């Protein structure tokens, strides 16, 4: 396949079909886990200590310079960290579709949109891989801290890229190395000393926390023109409860 050409479905051999079926099972399992985890997290998702969701969401849409009137798809929207600022930026003549598997987070986002009188945003409880939009539907597609939940990330990028109009932008934000250190290391050391069986194993974002992993993912998805930016930041913890 030529680099930069968007993919289309072709005939599959039997082995490829079997591979696709097991990939689908993995995907369904990942979706069920994500919906369960993030619905459960909805009680505290918008607590001030988690303000980083909205901070990085806003930074992501600022980076792609959304313009009034543009049509944006925001997937893995959570409680609206990037979808809400995107709706502000595209204004009343633009439109944002915000999609997430976790209904309770979508409810939080919808309430914030209503409180802010944002009428140009539509919410969907849906898998980002199954949204059903035609090719070239959006000026921009945005995915903040979500792509790594998909077992086949390249396939997910291909699907998101398919929906971007020629000349449009796809923005994907992920965690870099040393996330939340030194608090994260101290937390996991404490877990390990009490319950070694619960000690962290694999973090899905570890696959793309370095530029090389990201480049590979985009290359596999056949997206050629890629800019990677590091956004440094600190996040204060003000009390032991934080
Ligand atoms: C870490 S949260 C980030 C939420 C939001 N983007 C933010 O930065 O605040 C990841 C979100 O991705 C959603 N998610 C995971 N896999 C998804 C999928 N296949 N389709 C749609 N949403 C998905 C989860 O339900 C969760 O709300």
| pLDDT score for 1 | 36
Inside any domain, residue 201: yes
**CATH no. for residue 108?**
3.40.50.150
Using alpha carbons, select from 137, 136, 149 the residue that is nearest to residue 208.
149
Query: Is ligand 1 within 6 A of the CB of residue 101?
Result: yes
Query: Is ligand 1 within 6 A of the CB of residue 70?
Result: no
Confidence of residue 8 (pLDDT cuts 50, 70, 90): low
| pLDDT score for 3 | 55
| pLDDT score for 2 | 43
Using alpha carbons, select from 35, 70, 30 the residue that is nearest to residue 169.
70
| pLDDT score for 9 | 47
| pLDDT score for 60 | 97
| pLDDT score for 233 | 83
Ligand 1 atom with the smallest distance to the CA of 156 is 19
Confidence of residue 239 (pLDDT cuts 50, 70, 90): confident
Inside any domain, residue 190: yes
Inside any domain, residue 48: yes
Higher pLDDT, 10 or 120: 120
Q: Could you report the per-residue pLDDT of 153-176, keeping only the tens digit for each?
A: 999 999 999 999 999 999 999 999
Inside any domain, residue 191: yes
Inside any domain, residue 114: yes
| pLDDT score for 15 | 63
| pLDDT score for 232 | 85
Query: Is ligand 1 within 6 A of the CB of residue 57?
Result: yes
Q: Could you report the per-residue pLDDT of 24-65, keeping only the tens digit for each?
A: 789 999 999 999 999 999 999 999 888 889 999 999 999 999
Confidence of residue 22 (pLDDT cuts 50, 70, 90): confident
pLDDT of residue 11 exceeding 60, the answer is no
Ligand 1 atom with the smallest distance to the CA of 102 is 25
Instruction: Work out the percent of the chain whose per-residue pLDDT is above 90.
Output: 70
Instruction: Tell me which of 131-135, 164-168, 183-187, 220-224 is least confident.
Output: 183-187
Ligand 1 atom with the smallest distance to the CA of 143 is 6
Task: Give the C-alpha separation, 4 to 206, whole Å.
Answer: 26
Structural domain total, the chain = 1
DSSP letter string, 36-80: HHHHHGGGTTTSGGGTHHHHHHHHHHHHTT--TT-EEEEES-TTT
Print the domain residue range for 43. Answer: 14-220
Q: Is 232 helix (H, G, I), strand (E, B) or coil?
A: coil
Query: Is ligand 1 within 6 A of the CB of residue 168?
Result: no
Query: Is ligand 1 within 6 A of the CB of residue 159?
Result: no
Query: Is ligand 1 within 6 A of the CB of residue 123?
Result: no
Ligand 1 atom with the smallest distance to the CA of 129 is 19
Q: Could you report the per-residue pLDDT of 176-211, keeping only the tens digit for each?
A: 988 888 888 888 899 899 998 888 777 888 899 999
Inside any domain, residue 123: yes
Dihedral in degrees, nearest 10, Cα atoms 183, 152, 218, 97: -80
CA 14 to centroid of ligand 1, rounded, Å? 33
Inside any domain, residue 8: no
| pLDDT score for 65 | 95
End-to-end Cα distance, the chain: 49
CA 194 to centroid of ligand 1, rounded, Å? 30
Higher pLDDT, 17 or 149: 149
Q: Could you report the per-residue pLDDT of 69-98, keeping only the tens digit for each?
A: 999 999 999 999 999 999 999 999 999 999
Using alpha carbons, select from 119, 122, 107, 99 the residue that is nearest to residue 42.
107
Q: From atom 1 of ligand 1, which residue's Cα is the shortest distance away?
A: 145
Q: What is the mean pLDDT of the chain?
A: 91
Query: Is ligand 1 within 6 A of the CB of residue 146?
Result: yes
Neighbouring residues of 126: CB distance < 8 A, sequence distance ≥ 6: 99, 100, 101
């Amino acid at each position: 396949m030529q680099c930069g050409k968007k993919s289309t479905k072709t005939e599959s051999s039997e082995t490829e079909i079997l591979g696709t079926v097991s990939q689908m099972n993995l995907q369904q399992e990942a979706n069920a886990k994500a919906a369960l985890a993030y619905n459960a997290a909805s009680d505290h998702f918008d607590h001030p200590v988690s303000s980083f969701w909205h901070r990085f969401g806003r930074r992501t849409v600022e980076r792609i310079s959304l313009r009034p009137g543009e049509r944006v798809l925001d997937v893995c929207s959570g409680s609206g960290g990037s979808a809400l600022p995107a709706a502000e930026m595209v204004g009343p003549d633009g439109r944002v579709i915000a999609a997430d598997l976790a209904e309770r987070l979508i409810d939080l986002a919808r309430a914030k949109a209503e409180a802010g009188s944002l009428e140009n945003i539509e919410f969907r409880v849906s898998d980002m891989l199954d949204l059903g939009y035609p090719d070239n539907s959006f000026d921009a597609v945005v995915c903040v801290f979500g792509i790594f939940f998909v077992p086949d990330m390249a396939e997910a990028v291909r699907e998101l890229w398919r929906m971007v109009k020629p000349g449009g932008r796809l923005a994907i934000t992920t965690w870099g190395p040393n996330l939340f250190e030194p608090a994260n290391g101290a937390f996991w050391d404490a877990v390990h000393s009490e319950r070694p069986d619960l000690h962290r194993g694999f973090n899905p974002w570890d696959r793309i926390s370095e530029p090389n992993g990201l480049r590979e993912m985009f290359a596999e998805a056949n997206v050629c023109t890629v800019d990677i930016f590091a956004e440094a930041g600190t996040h204060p913890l003000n009390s032991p409860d934080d």
